Amino acid sequence: MARAYDQEAVQPAGDVLHEACGITGLYSPGDDVARLAYFGLYALQHRGQESAGLAVGDGERIQSHREMGLINGIFNEEILGGLSGHVAIGHTRYSTTGSSIIVNAQPFELDSDLGRFAFGHNGNLTNTDDLAARLPEDVRLAATSDSEILALTIALAPGESWPEKIKAAMRIAEGAYSVVMCTTDAVYAFRDPWGVRPLCIGTYGDHGYMIASESCALATVGAHYLRELDAGEVVCIDARGVRTEHTEVVKPASLCMFEYIYFARPDSVLSGRSIYMARYEMGRALAREHPVDADVVMAVPDSAIPGGIGFSAESGLPYVEGLIKNRYIGRTFISPDQKLRAQGVQLKFNPIVENLRGQRVVVVDDSIVRGTTTPRIVKLVRDAGAREVHLRITSPPIVHPCYLGVDMATYAELIAANRTVPEICERLGADSLGYLSIENLVASTGRDRTDFCLGCLNGRYPSQPGSSNGIAQADRQPALKA
């Protein structure tokens, strides 16, 4: 029987991809782990801005604090000062399943036969119904997200140690889950057998260790990056040091390609490849694949900037700043209504008219999801005096939904799901439109095509709702025209 959790995807905020969380973990006796985890979360704020929290273990108990909002609005000296211990985990959330409410904020605490633990999850399960149905009838759910179902599945799994329980849960949990857990005196971290979401480990000081979704969090606190966790790897850090185990469950490698295109911070390194350099190469490849007779190149800030600079380098066209972004607009900002918009209220981007007036402009962006923001950008650039606007996109067309933690849940909301490139171009109001091919995208990462999930680009998913284990082929046709 299905349990009462909320499987509805939240409403999209606009034409920006959102991902489902950033996580970090610290083991460092003698250091202020709460503050270190806090700084780590600060570096991961881009992965989720709805809620955040920290949990700290001091050998005897776990204390935690979580609230809705941004990191700097949640924590202060008093709260951090009250979280003392030598193990910590932190979480910053963007909801793709489960409502954006405080009970779904993480890390949350649960009890088990191995004692109390705190839990933070990045990703989306694809068989939550199945896992929920396996839970005993008398288990009460406190939250409404797949994360709690996963935590309960682990807590109730057979095993006399946490790695045994985690590996038992890995045999039945499907989808994306990079997780940090802490008990009163140990930190655990693991990735699903597909390795959809990133997770890395580094050393801190002489005797400490740090886990984080991205290496930029390690660099922020002065930790030394060691490596990515393997898909299906379980790491335990405690007084005996670091121990690692692997699940016997083997799945095709499926790192989300959008970590390289959009999600990860450009100063992060993913499996030895600089995100900045990967995006720069995407821009260069795009210039070769879709050259255009133009005067200047600009990028939509911030994530498309390396791609724009790469396009400029390859094409020989000068790179200019065309739009300035207000970086302080969160997901819940009060939008101007239609009338105010018509009167020129423009909160997110303002053009640098001097760089655009009279020019034939190449606008490089990283992706087009629903096609709601791009026409506004094209209009802004035209209104600033551009003679022509040529869109160049460093991802291939997004033609399928994502089931693995990115908020594009249906064909109906994807502008490219059932339109040709010329049709999309006309809708966006541009003079031309060119997308990077999957081949050149993969080549820009310096990695092999088989390392990636490309589900939203080619319909082949590592796992999707209702699928059996293994690669699932998208079998649904576009349902509606947007």
Active-site positions? 21
**Nearest residue (CB) to ligand SF4, 408 versus 424:** 408
Q: Which of 23, 143, 369, 456 binds ligand SF4 (CB under 6 A)?
A: 456
Residue 363 in the binding site for ligand SF4 (CB under 6 A): no
In whole angstroms, how close is the CB of 269 to ligand SF4 at the nearest point?
A: 19
In whole angstroms, how close is the CB of 257 to ligand SF4 at the nearest point?
A: 4
Q: Which of 40, 57, 120, 455 binds ligand SF4 (CB under 6 A)?
A: 455
| 3-class DSSP state of 313 | helix
- Between vectors from CA 118 to CA 259 and to CA 47, what angle results, nearest 5°? 20
Residue 406 in the binding site for ligand SF4 (CB under 6 A): yes
DSSP 175: B
**Nearest residue (CB) to ligand SF4, 26 versus 255:** 255
CA dihedral angle for residue 435, residue 438, residue 444, residue 448, rounded to 10 degrees: 170
Taking alpha carbons only, the member of 262, 173, 232, 279 closest to residue 457 is 262
In whole angstroms, how close is the CB of 396 to ligand SF4 at the nearest point?
A: 11
In whole angstroms, how close is the CB of 145 to ligand SF4 at the nearest point?
A: 18
In whole angstroms, how close is the CB of 262 to ligand SF4 at the nearest point?
A: 9
Give the separation between CA 471 and CA 194, rounded to whole angstroms. Answer: 10
Residues 246-275 that bind ligand SF4 (CB under 6 A): 256-258
**Nearest residue (CB) to ligand SF4, 200 versus 256:** 256
- Residue 1 tokens read as 């029987």
Distance in Å from the first CA to the final CA of the chain: 34
| 3-class DSSP state of 55 | strand
Residue 20 in the binding site for ligand SF4 (CB under 6 A): no
H or E, element range at 319: none
Residue 454 in the binding site for ligand SF4 (CB under 6 A): yes
Q: Which of 402, 414, 430, 472 binds ligand SF4 (CB under 6 A)?
A: 402
**Nearest residue (CB) to ligand SF4, 186 versus 454:** 454
| Residues composing the chain | 482
Residue 328 neighbours by CB distance under 10 Å: 8
**Nearest residue (CB) to ligand SF4, 269 versus 453:** 453
Residue 416 in the binding site for ligand SF4 (CB under 6 A): no
Q: Which of 453, 463, 467, 472 binds ligand SF4 (CB under 6 A)?
A: 453
In whole angstroms, how close is the CB of 410 to ligand SF4 at the nearest point?
A: 13
Q: Which stretch binds ligand SF4 (CB under 6 A): 31-39, 42-50, 215-223, 452-460?
A: 452-460
Give the residue ranges of DSSP H helices in 6-118. 33-43, 71-74, 77-81
Exposure of 320 in the CB half-sphere (CA atoms within 13 A): 22
- Which residue matches tokens 């005993």? 136
- Residue 267 tokens read as 């100063």
**Nearest residue (CB) to ligand SF4, 56 versus 199:** 199
- Residue 106 tokens read as 């993480």
Are 195 and 227 within 8 A, CB to CB? no
**Nearest residue (CB) to ligand SF4, 310 versus 401:** 401
Give the separation between CA 463 and CA 482, rounded to whole angstroms. Answer: 25
Q: Which of 196, 216, 369, 409 binds ligand SF4 (CB under 6 A)?
A: 196
Give the interface with ligand SF4 as residue ranges (CB under 6 A). 196, 256-258, 402, 404, 406, 453-456
